[in-house]
A and B are shown apart, each in its own frame.
Chain A
Amino acid sequence: MTSNNNSRREFLRLSSLSGLGLMLGVSSFAKNASIVKLTEEALQLEINPFIIIDNLGNITLVNPRPDMGQGSTQAVPSLLAEELEVSLEKVKLIQSDGKSKYGSQTSGGSSSVRELWEPLRKAGAAAKEMLTETAAKRWGVSVDKCYAEDGRIHQRNSDKSFSYGELADEASKLPIPKNPKLKDSKDFKIIGKTKPRLDVPDRVTGKAVFGMDVDVPGMVYAAILHSPAIHGKIVSIDDAAAKKIPGVIKVMKAERPMPHRTSEAVAVIATNWWAALKAKKALNVTWDNSGLDKMTTDSYFAKSYEAAKAEGINFEEKGDIDQALAHAEKTLEAVYETPFLAHAPIEPENAIAHVKDNGEVEIWAPIQGPDWALRDVAGYLKVKPEQIKINVFLLGGAFGRKAYHDFLLEACFLSKELKKPVKVIWTREDDISQGPYRPGMLSAMRGAVNGKRIAAFHHHAIGESINRQVFNGLKDHEVDDWITGELSAENHKYNLPVWKLSWSNVKTDIPIVWWRSVYASNFAFGQECFMDELAHAAGQDPIEARLAILQDDRFKKVLEVISEKANWKEKLPAGQGRGVAMFKSFGSISACCVTVSKKGDGSVKIDKVVSVIDCGWHVNPDNVKAQTEGNIVMGLTAAIKPGITYAGGMAQQSNFHDYPIMRINEAPEMEIHIVNSGEVPGGVGEPGLPPVAPALANAIFAATGKRLRKLPIDLNEV
């Protein structure tokens, strides 16, 4: 990552322009933050949010992280407000537009606070020092006689003060301090404190504007008939009935550009979306699906189970696993399977594009990353980035889906043809049956136990690679290091004498992409269920067995806290059981404990879920809890609700009746505990999810004696 671009003007003197006082970019404060490869490799851009303090003292922050419900509209300005000594209410947010001057702008990889923690605080601290120095000069006193509070610089032992607005112009002429002093954490007033999110009132009154709610003048609507068998080709279109529907303007061929291939589609353009949808249903299109009959999830998993029997590409090895297994007192082998999943944000995919005659392009959409969207639109339409204006609106959920721009490029295609703003709205059926999905994956595990100790462990990760399909970024002999990085001993901290990690790529054209917590949501299931199996084989308590091999105090602390908070040591009546799992992802360690009961009819009920997270420094503890609650619900949904299956190139699910997500009556009692380690910030939006499914499966084993190694689990028939 290039984090210091000195050629860029990080400080702009704009005092000659009326109303703009101090404008500060923070590129010089961006360090080599630990971020996911996603942004590092794909973008090569730096973190560079902009802050403007005007002559009236108004503070504006260009927010480089779109809000999809994860709370970035609070977390991001909090970092600035803390150091600048202003209340959160004083900071006005403008969503960034994707232009490279704003640096990395994608909400993904649970990165908002992790990446902005240092640069935004340093920017706030630098601005505060410049304002303080300006005030000190005016008063003719030393800076230590001055302090900042509530948007003003005060002189100690006096009633003299200046507002930031009164100082901004003059302050802007000072050099930016290279290493401004950051506040001691004990003096934090905002960071680490529970504060209400200021945009919640708009989200309960219907005033919040999501992408779906945007209208622009002159716009037409499009409903798109995608090929039911993904990648089918159009043979003929009978649009006679569709064209008779009032409001329909046009029926036309369209395309769905995905990173790995472009699919054919038919679009209905109408004056309102209901008319477009009705006409879409009235279309009679013949598709050529030849060759697609082999595109099934069954064949994908059959190939994956074959791969499980073969040697994968070795990624990490300590000792000789084959020797260790050959000489062990007890050995275990098991394969764990996780299904394909749709993201299913309640706001379906939608976007408005206007490709103008003069070559300019304007976009209005709920997207996770305006920078990525800018790159994709520029590449697709072959226009320059400076010709594109991107307006990002709130996202009605995303979970990774809205950083994949097929729906946006569909709008671009149609607008280019029609020379009008076109609003594409996907149906729920489009969303669920077209993908992209979390890929289904296998974990083929081998392990050994000697006496009461877990002695050896081999995790063979198998499936399609997001890197390969989305970025064309994986050669056949390479490992997907998003996967191996997460499964590495460096990440899980289990210190075993013998250890191996390997990878096999099983390819598919079923579209895949990152889904909340990415691969961790797949592979934590295998790792943590197998750890439970090994613990039982060693006659050990699953928490004690982990504590015996963990070499990291933070991991141990998280397990100790969950043991205490979930009453792990309490003896449960027959038919009730607890299971535990832990996983580190996106810089945070999370553990989950699920309690279940076996019912007389063979079903299992989830009684309670307790989660613990150590995400280091965090902005709002209540939001950490909210995100972890959400991860419990999404993690349980992934564990117990049907996944996506394909037959004949076609999804066999289409809406919430056959792709159900957890409802309120199924949501168990839950409790979240935060370990305040004071370490560097980790992610919050995703790390709570991976341990949920294995904790559930381990609880079911504890209650029933049954090992369930394939998700989803049908709780009605365990």
Chain B
Amino acid sequence: MAVYNLNVNGKKVTVDVEPDMPLLWVLRDFAGLKGTKFGCGMALCGACTVHLNGQPIRSCQTPVSSLAKSAKLTTIEGISDGVTLHAVQQAWVEEQVPQCGYCQSGQIMSAVALLKTNPDPSDEDINSAMVGNLCRCGTYDRIRKAIHRAADLSKTSGGGSQKVGKAGGK
């Protein structure tokens, strides 16, 4: 066992775990962040995608001991404050992308990373950036549409977040 001080969503998280424990299980079972999902354990499905210093990684294949002390981690819980949605989340709501939704945390984390480097991706760009994220419900066509919509939302709002719209009326 070893103590790790992680920076997750801008907050310090201290865990005492085995060094080879994948970040996925550290986040879910020790940091209480259940939005990141277990799907395959082999980096084949992308359900566990989080950001390491802004880059998408598969947390199921990332031992906690491999993270640098300066590592900044972002999970689905950290891309919006819960009151306003991130443009990608807003687009996901407007296109009604999720069916079961289990894979969508990972899909959204991959899409957020894509739009950061490529604010106006083509379908081809989307296909190659999102190829690692499986959806068994088959929401791919809507994911493509939602990424285009998120690109448009980001342009009109100057890249900022969107208020939870009527569609998100809780």
Contacts and interface: CB of A to CB of B under 8 A. Distances in A.
Interface string A641-662: 0000000000000011100011
B131 A664 contact: yes
Contacts of A626: 96, 99, 139, 142
A196 B170 CA distance: 11
B115 to A, nearest CB: 15
Contacts of A632: 138
A69 B101 contact: yes
B153 interface: no
A206 B102 contact: no
B104 A348 contact: no
Interface hub of A396, A398, A669 (most chain B Cβ within 10 A): A396
A544 B76 CA distance: 52
B44 A70 contact: no
A206 B105 contact: yes
B127 A665 contact: yes
Contacts of A49: none
A345 B140 contact: no
Contacts of A207: 35
B48 to A, nearest CB: 11
B47 interface: yes
Interface stretch (A270-278, A380-388, A599-607): A270-278
A427 B22 CA distance: 15
B98 interface: yes
A37 to B, nearest CB: 26
A208 B130 contact: no
Contacts of A622: 96
B139 A200 contact: no
Interface string A187-209: 00000000011101111111111
B168 interface: yes
Contacts of A319: none
Given A212-B38, A213-B34, A201 B164 contact: yes
Contact of A212 (B1, B37, B103, B170): B37
The majority secondary structure among interface residues of chain B is loop
Interface in B62-85: 75-77, 80, 82, 85
B108 interface: yes
A278 B164 CA distance: 42
Contacts of B137: 69, 397, 630, 633
Q: How big is chain B's contact interface, by range?
A: 35 or more
A239 interface: no
Contacts of A202: 101
B138 A631 contact: yes
B21 A634 contact: no
Q: Which 5 A-B pairs have the closest CB atoms?
A: A206-B35, A633-B138, A396-B102, A203-B101, A69-B100
A25 interface: no
Contacts of B168: 196, 200-201
B126 interface: yes
Contacts of B89: 201, 204-205
Contacts of B134: 346, 656, 661, 663
Given A629-B142, A656-B134, A662-B138, A204 B99 contact: no
A397 B137 CA distance: 7
Nearest to A431: B40
B18 A247 contact: yes
B47 A346 contact: yes
B93 A200 contact: yes
Contact of A272 (B29, B139, B141): B29
Contacts of B144: 664
Contact of A89 (B39, B92, B101, B169): B169
Contacts of B37: 210, 212, 346-347, 396
A126 interface: no
A397 B141 CA distance: 18
B36 interface: yes
Contacts of A629: 138-139, 141-142
Contact of A347 (B39, B93, B130): B39
Interface in A202-229: 202-210, 212-213
B143 A664 contact: yes
Interface of B: 1, 18, 20-22, 25, 28-30, 33-42, 44-45, 47, 75-77, 80, 82, 85, 89, 92-93, 96-105, 108, 126-128, 130-144, 164, 166-170
Nearest to B22: A274
B140 A664 contact: yes
A428 B76 contact: no
Given A656-B44, A665-B128, A665-B131, A197 B96 contact: yes
A213 B47 CA distance: 14
Contacts of B22: 274
Nearest to A350: B38
Contact of B34 (A206, A247, A425, A661): A206
9 contacts: A200-B168, A204-B101, A205-B89, A210-B37, A210-B102, A277-B41, A346-B37, A629-B138, A630-B99
Contacts of B82: 205
Contacts of B28: 213
A213 B32 CA distance: 9
Given A206-B76, A274-B18, A669 B141 contact: yes
A345 B141 CA distance: 19
A662 B36 CA distance: 22
Contacts of A630: 99, 137-139
B140 A246 contact: no
A499 B91 CA distance: 51
Interface in A519-545: none
A213 B30 CA distance: 13
Contacts of B139: 626, 629-630
A428 B39 contact: yes
A319 to B, nearest CB: 41
A283 interface: no
A548 interface: no
Given A205-B76, A396-B102, A656-B45, A667 B138 contact: yes
Interface in A40-80: 67-71
B40 A664 contact: no
Given A203-B104, A204-B108, A273-B25, 13 more contacts: A69-B101, A205-B80, A345-B100, A346-B45, A397-B99, A397-B100, A397-B136, A398-B100, A428-B44, A622-B96, A626-B139, A663-B140, A667-B141
A81 interface: no
A69 B139 CA distance: 11
A200 B96 contact: yes
A670 interface: yes
A246 B18 CA distance: 8
